[in-house]
Amino acid sequence: MTTARFPGPRNAPTVSNPLSLTRLDSAVARSAAGFGIAFLLQSVPVIMAQLGNLQRAWWLVVLLLLAALLFALVASVLGRAVRVAHGSVAVLYVVALLSWPAAVVEAARAPSSSFFLYFTLTIATITATIGFGPRLGILYTIVVPAIYAAIRVTPPGGSVPPLLAVLDSMYAIILGGLIAIIIVVLRRAARTVDTAQQTALLRYAHVVRQHAIEAERVQVDAIVHDSVLTTFLSAARAVTPESEALAAAMAGNAIGHLRDAVAAAPDVEGEVSAGVVAGRIADAATTMTGHIAVRVHEPGPASMPIPVAEAVYSAAVQAMVNSLQHAGSGAVRWVEVRGAGGDGILVEVGDRGAGFDLEDVPSERLGVRVSIIERLASVGGHAEIASQVGGGTTVTLRWPAESPGGRPS
């Protein structure tokens, strides 16, 4: 079995992600968790004054609620399990609210002022909107404040006048509903901006590709005219060892010119999301003459320059074409696309076919060395080809390239 790895340049181009739905969701989630912790800590004096009339075992509920808010903040910063974390805050708040009357030791000592859970009621409704979605979040915003008002008029809740309990409940509903509506409107606006941006980038990428194809055609035509045809004529007229050696040298130079022309990446601006690249690769796989199983995992919010996107797409298509041509008609083939390290993309094209020995590939064969390996290396990525005669081939494409420590450079 042969394995070859071809890292690209260490200083790969870096890109910055524009404002998007992902960034908006992250900002809202972090803000909700952060404000929730701040409000809970701000009400510490009230909590200490009211805990004396509550069962000690119920204090654990307050600690769990604080831990859930901390978990939501950490998850929002890391961008992982955000909905689960915020949903847990909303659920724990309901548990605390419903168990509050049973935890009161003496109903006569129940505070007539606001119970400390009231200070985080709006935060709970926001976390419900993030964790459960807009519809369930709005339902939560209405039902939970109503439960708070119903408890407040009972003796364990302080026996407050019904009007005061209703006013507190309505205030929480209006404030929480307003914030939920703002979140929904901002998310729709961000989604519209994302869609418009992707459409513009796709159109721009199409124009750039057409321009690059035309420029490459002119360059290759010039190389073919100046190098390849001249080499053919010299080879045809070679009758002496000296002329044969000259023709061989000219052929090597012509191959070098063609390799440089194919590997050169156009210097253009603009970015394409990893999701768009994954979609293009999946579409290309479905149009191939042979069956190729496609598995596309969530590529994440990563984006890449247009030349990088074109190089990854072209290398993946070339790998699929090579598999169809050389792996055999009955081989099982697949292509898998997923995110790499949160800011990159990884494509795997494999088959369980004939396989080959990479060292036996002639240097003049440009399909593997130029169209896959050097094309990806020229934009800061790397290609890894693992193959065994009779055991199939797997081509792994990664951008950006990994450093020796195993992390993207």
Alpha helices in 52-133 (DSSP H): 59-78, 82-103, 121-132
Mark residue 110 as left, alpha or beta (left: phi above 0; alpha: psi -120 to 50; beta: remaining). beta
pTM (predicted TM-score): 0.47
CA dist 183 and 168 (Å) reads 23
CA dist 375 and 382 (Å) reads 9
Mean pLDDT on 69-92: 87
Interval 16-75: pLDDT, tens: 444 566 777 778 888 888 887 887 777 777 777 777 788 888 888 888 888 888 888 888
Taken in order 51, 56, 60, 61, is the CA torsion positive or negative?
negative
Residue 227 has pLDDT above 80, yes or no: no
The two tokens of residue 76 are 């929002």
The count of C-alpha atoms lying within 13 angstroms of the C-alpha of 382, restricted to the half-sphere facing its C-beta, is: 20
Q: What would be the CATH architecture of the domain defined by 269-409?
A: 2-Layer Sandwich (3.30)
> What pLDDT sits at residue 91?
92
Beta bridge partner(s), residue 296:
337
Q: With 0-12 CB in 10 A as exposed, 13-18 as middle and 19+ as buried, what is 143?
A: middle
The two tokens of residue 377 are 């290396």
Tell me how crowded residue 3 is: count the other CB atoms within 10 A of its CB.
12
Mean pLDDT on 123-135: 86
Continuous segment of H or E residues that includes residue 385: strand 382-388
Tell me how crowded residue 340 is: count the other CB atoms within 10 A of its CB.
20
Mark residue 131 as left, alpha or beta (left: phi above 0; alpha: psi -120 to 50; beta: remaining). alpha
Across 7-56, the runs of DSSP E, i.e. the strands, are none
Residue 163 has pLDDT above 70, yes or no: yes
Pairwise pLDDT comparison (58 vs 336), residue with the higher score: 336
Residue 315 has pLDDT above 80, yes or no: yes
